Structures are given as structure tokens and as C-alpha cells.
Structure 1
Amino acid sequence: MPRPTKARRVEFFPENTYFIPLGKAKINMKETVLKVEELEAMRLKDIEDLNQEKCAERMQVSRQTFQNIIDSARKKMAIALTEGNAISISGGNYRATFCKFKCFICGNTYEINYEQDKYLCPICGSHKVMCSKKAGFCKKWCKEKPAKDNE
């Protein structure tokens, strides 16, 4: 039985998550899905120009795991660009570090896994949560909503 996949640390989430080739209709177009941690691997290696060891350290994975992630990302991007596929950025197994949320019921503070747990406390399940705005990126990314009263 294989070990469960460990969540990868992600420091960035793009505003735009869907790209289509210019002049092509979205109907009947193939779609390539790039996982959030794959985008993060490319960002660290290709934009921040970090070496593999530093990238792996920042994502809190082994160097081999980082290499597997970036290989997968680059292959997907090459296929999408050469075949004219749409590119969707979503999913994956990651832990975001750009925003922290606080539950008003149990007091739990937690990092979000994007939309999956943005407005739901992972400890008590309450919808009475709000962004604590501790991270700089959070200020422009999070759109604070009033706590939902579904208790």
C-alpha cells in the first residue's frame, strides 16, 4: 500500500486560471489541467530562478518529488501549447500559505486549500470564518465575506 500523498506548500495562486488560444472557440476544445502545485514548481524554478534543492525546500517536498512535479508541469504545458489546448489551473494536493482564516466558533486559525475550505472551518465545520489578513497577498486576493449563519 503506497503512502498517502503529502500536501505541497504553495505561496502563490494566480488571478487568471483559464487560458484559451486566441481565435479558437471553447466548444469542443481539449483542455489541459495544470495542478496548482505544478504551477508553483514552474514559478519557483523558472521565474524565481531557484535551484532544485531550494525549490523543494520551499514546497516542503523531497528533491525527487519536486523533479517529478516540474517534469509533469512542463510536459503538460508543452502538449497544451503544441496541440492548441485550453489550459486550466486547478486542483492538486497543496496547502496554501498566502492566507489564514480564523473560525469565530472554535477559534481555530488555519491555512486555506483555496476554495475547498475557504469558508468552512476544518475543525468544527462552522461557516463563521473570516480571513485574518496576516499574509500580504491575502489583501488583494481575498474578498472578505460576512460570516455565514448556517449553524
Structure 2
Amino acid sequence: MPRPKKWRKVGFIPEIKFYGPLDCNTEDSIVTMSVEEVESIRLMDLEGLDQNECAQRMMIARSTFQRIYSEAKRKIADSIVNGKKLKIEGGNYTLNICRIICRNCGYEWKEKCEDIKNGIKCPHCGSQNNLICSEDEKNKVCRRCFRHRRGRL
């Protein structure tokens, strides 16, 4: 049984999910690109980060980032050169996977932020008010955390 894929952290989900030539009417010429492939293009080409920084932002290995980025460039080139439509959908991504620390009992766990709708509780002690999101061992608050930007914690 293969190991399950890790979630890739993305900071952007495009609103427009379909691109292509205006004079193409065939439905069979569609290239499908995943959300994490779009994120790799955004980080590398639009923000101008190097591969290590991009991989850290997406919480994946540099070699995994390189593979995702190469596949994204190949799909964009196929779409432009061969006049195919480009559709963005699917993938194995999350807006955030945060390391949550309970200040009451010190328990740590990882949580997908977009699945949390009615707040979260510590799975160890049940506390709901004394939770922080941390990126590193120094317990600094995660500045890129979707949860803090939306005022969830």
C-alpha cells in the first residue's frame, strides 16, 4: 500500500479556472492543471522566490517543488503552443496546515484550517480559548496563518 500524499500548502486559489484560445470549440483539447501547480508558478515566477523558499512556503521538499513546477510549465507550454484550453481544478492542497499548541496542557497537533467552521478544541484537554498557531519551536505566531488573518483564534 503506497504512502498517502502530503497536503501541499497554498496561499492562493484562482477565481478564474478556465483559460484558452477564443477560436477553439473542441472540448477534447483541454489541459488540466492542479491548484498546487498554479501555486508553484505564482511563487516562482510572479513573486520571484527561489526553489527553497517556495518549497518552505508550500511545506514540501525542494525536489517535490521542482517536480510540481516542471509539470506546471510543461502544461502551460502545451496549452499555448498547441492551442489547448487550460482548466485549473483538483490537487492535494490545503490553504493551511498549522501546528496548534494548547497553552493549557501543552498538547501539539496539526490541523487543516479550511475545515474548521465552528472553532476547534484541544483534543487532549478540550480547551477552546487558549490555543495558538506556531510555525517554529519558539512559539511565534504564524504570520501567514489563514486562521489569524480571519480572526479565528
TM-score (norm 2): 0.64
Aligned to 2:149: 135
- Aligned with 1:4: secondary structure? coil
Q: Which runs of 5+ in 2 are unaligned?
A: 97-112, 122-145
Identify if the C-alpha distance between structure 1 residues 94 and 102 changes in structure 2 by more than 3 Å, giving closer, same or farther.
Answer: closer
Which structure is larger by alpha-carbon Rg, 1 or 2? Answer: 2
User: Does structure 1 conserve the Cα–Cα contact (< 8 Å) formed by 2:20 and 2:79?
Assistant: no
Write the distance in 2 (CA, Å) between the matches of 1:67 and 1:93.
Answer: 16
Task: Give the aligned CA root-mean-square deviation in angstroms.
Answer: 2.3
* Partner amino acid, structure 2, of 1:68: R
Instruction: Give 1:108 shift.
Output: 3.3
Q: C-alpha offsets along residues 57-90 of structure 1, whole Å, 9 cap, x if unaligned?
A: 0000000000000001000111111111111101
| Corresponding position of 1:89 | 88
Q: For residues 31 and 71 of structure 1, what CA distance do their matches in structure 2 show?
A: 19
CA contact (8 A) 2:30 2:85 kept: yes
**Alpha-carbon deviations, 1:10-32, whole Å to 9, x = none?**
0001110011212222x434110
| Structure 2 counterparts to residues 1-151 of structure 1, below 5 A | 1-25=1-25, 27-97=26-96, 100=114, 102-104=116-118, 107-108=119-120, 134-135=148-149
Matched AA of 2:12 = F
For the residue of structure 1 that corresponds to 2:149, the secondary structure is: coil
Counterpart of 2:94 in 1: which secondary structure? Answer: strand
Tell me how far apart the structure 2 counterparts of residues 134 and 16 of structure 1 sit (CA, whole Å): 26
CA contact (8 A) 1:100 1:134 kept: no
Give the secondary-structure state (helix, strand or coil) at the position aligned to 2:53.
helix
User: 2: CA distance between counterparts of 1:41 and 1:72?
Assistant: 10
In structure 1, the gaps of 5 or more residues are 110-131, 137-151
1:133 Cα deviation after fit? 7.7
Could you report, residue by residue, the CA deviation over 1:17-59 in whole angstroms, capped at 9, with x for unpaired residues?
011212222x434110010000000100000000110000000
Alpha-carbon separation, structure 2, partners of 1:60 and 1:39: 15
Contact persistence 2:94–2:114 (CA under 8 A): no
Q: Distance in 1 between matches of 2:80 and 2:55?
A: 26
Letter matched to residue 41 of structure 1: S
Equivalent residue pairs, number: 110
